[in-house]
Chains A and B, each alone.
Chain A
Amino acid sequence: MDKPKIATASLAGCFGCHMSLLDIDERILKLVELVDFDKSPINDIKEFTGQCLVGLIEGGCCNEENVRVLRDFRKHCDILISVGDCAITGGIPAMRNGIPLEECMNEAYLSGPTVYNPNKIIPNDKEIPLILNKVFPCHEVVKIDYYLPGCPPSADTLWEALVALLNNKPLDLPYELIKYD
């Protein structure tokens, strides 16, 4: 039988959760025995090649491309997991949620103390994904099956969760593995 497939994506995140996944150290060899990686920045596969058992989502949705990727993951993954505080709460990017978008763009591209932008252009190319008015946690966009909190979730948290799901066991994290920081 083919190995189950897992896919990962980083939306509005910092890739810290992916780093934490790599932080499982030599257990990564076991992981490769257990699963095949489909669409993921780890192997640079850009599009899904088929249905996956598990999808790991890092980061919330801050632009329309994030939403498209997230919906694509929901379609292709039997189990979709929000990994890390950004996916679960919006995280650091969501700090802009209380500030009007125009003010954010002005601060980032025009009036910020370190900005060099002599032509006073706010990037607006059609190649650039359209930014959303606020940052959304993943479960406010699609159905999410499990949540692994942390900034990032520890390698042990990710490992325990993956091993449990791959072995059809209930995901029951011990006290030390549920952390919000």
Chain B
Amino acid sequence: MAEQTITFTIDGVEVKGKAGQTIMQAADEAGVYIPRLCAFKDLTPHGSCRVCVVLVNGRPQASCTQPATEGMVVESETEEIQKHRRNIIDMLFVEGNHFCMFCEKSGNCELQAQAYRLGICAPKYPYQFPVRDLDASHPDIFIDHNRCILCGRCVQASRDLDGKTVFEFVNRGTEKKIAVNAEAKLADTDIDISDKACDVCPVGAIIKKHIGFATPVGRRLYDTEPIGSDIEKKN
């Protein structure tokens, strides 16, 4: 049986998707980019970062989890939604310790790239300068909690793709952090450098050692083109 096609609009542009797709999946295929931080192609979306929130028939919904339905009216790049996205990115920057100038991930970082795409020159909230630790016990991988945005990608990737459950969230609210499944350190877990969990971090919180600043400035992922350009080129 042929898949049922559904038609809806994003910012007034007609988008065709398949029944059962989320708004984000249909938008991606149609060449419309909706900004995101926690959603990742091989993982189950869970709508936690709220960057991909759009207005569906006037109500805010996470586009990574909301199914697309016939005739829905989606608003994404409106001033109101962009302001909301800016606020989230601003808050993520001030609640961690994001020192882009010496981060190996800089230029390939999705948090930074979202800020670039939104044209953010400085966050409007006061910096929190939280005290967070760094776990460099493993010979090949380190976790820098200063840069973690708690997207949960590593938790899911380790559990669903690697079948290991190396990472888990602990604590609540401002105390929430990523913990490792061991008595003490990352070195005591069964994580391996070839694990998918090492590749999914959108920021520089989980970094592979011995690579450093491999790509020169100017040739990194988001140096010249905004994040989402690959999707928008399909249009």
Q: Which residues of A approach B to under 8 Å, CB–CB?
A: 82, 85, 88-92, 94-95, 97-98, 134, 137, 139-140, 146-149, 151, 173, 175-176, 178-181
A interface secondary structure, majority: mixed
> Which A residue sits closest to B217, measured CB to CB?
A181
Q: Complex formed: what's the CA distance from A178 to B126 in Å?
A: 20
Question: Is residue B169 within 8 Å, beta carbon to beta carbon, of the partner chain?
Answer: no
| Given A88-B121, A181-B106, A181-B107, 8 additional A-B pairs, CB 8 A | A92-B101, A92-B102, A94-B129, A97-B129, A98-B131, A137-B127, A146-B121, A178-B121
In the complex, are the beta carbons of B131 and A175 less than 8 A apart? no
A98 in contact with B129 given A82-B122, A180-B106 (CB within 8 Å): yes
In the complex, are the beta carbons of B106 and A98 less than 8 A apart? no
Taking a contact as CB atoms closer than 8 A, the residue among B100, B121, B127, B132 that contacts A148 in the complex is B121
In the complex, are the beta carbons of A173 and B121 less than 8 A apart? yes
B interface secondary structure, majority: loop
Q: Complex formed: what's the CA distance from A181 to B104 in Å?
A: 11
Question: Is residue B11 within 8 Å, beta carbon to beta carbon, of the partner chain?
Answer: no
In the complex, which residues of chain A have a beta carbon less than 8 angstroms from the beta carbon of B132?
98
CB proximity of A59 to chain B, nearest CB, Å: 13
6 cross-chain pairs, A with B, having the tightest CB-CB distances, nearest first? A151-B101, A180-B100, A147-B122, A147-B121, A97-B129, A98-B131
Central interface residue in B97, B112, B131, by most chain A CB within 10 Å: B97
Question: Is residue B226 within 8 Å, beta carbon to beta carbon, of the partner chain?
Answer: yes
> Which A residue sits closest to B122, measured CB to CB?
A147
In the complex, are the beta carbons of B130 and A88 less than 8 A apart? no
Taking a contact as CB atoms closer than 8 A, the residue among B99, B126, B217, B226 that contacts A175 in the complex is B226
In the complex, are the beta carbons of A180 and B112 less than 8 A apart? yes
In the complex, which residues of chain A have a beta carbon less than 8 angstroms from the beta carbon of B225?
175
A180 in contact with B119 given A90-B127, A97-B129, A134-B129 (CB within 8 Å): no
Question: Is residue B194 within 8 Å, beta carbon to beta carbon, of the partner chain?
Answer: no
Which parts of B85-130 form the interface with A (CB within 8 Å)?
Answer: 97-103, 106-107, 112, 115-117, 119-122, 126-127, 129-130
CB proximity of A109 to chain B, nearest CB, Å: 22
> Which B residue sits closest to A140, measured CB to CB?
B126
In the complex, are the beta carbons of A178 and B116 less than 8 A apart? yes
In the complex, are the beta carbons of A95 and B99 less than 8 A apart? yes
Q: Complex formed: what's the CA distance from A173 to B122 in Å?
A: 13
Can you show 15 pairs from A to B with CB atoms below 8 A apart? A88-B121, A89-B98, A90-B129, A92-B99, A94-B129, A95-B97, A140-B127, A149-B121, A173-B121, A175-B225, A176-B223, A178-B116, A178-B119, A178-B120, A181-B106
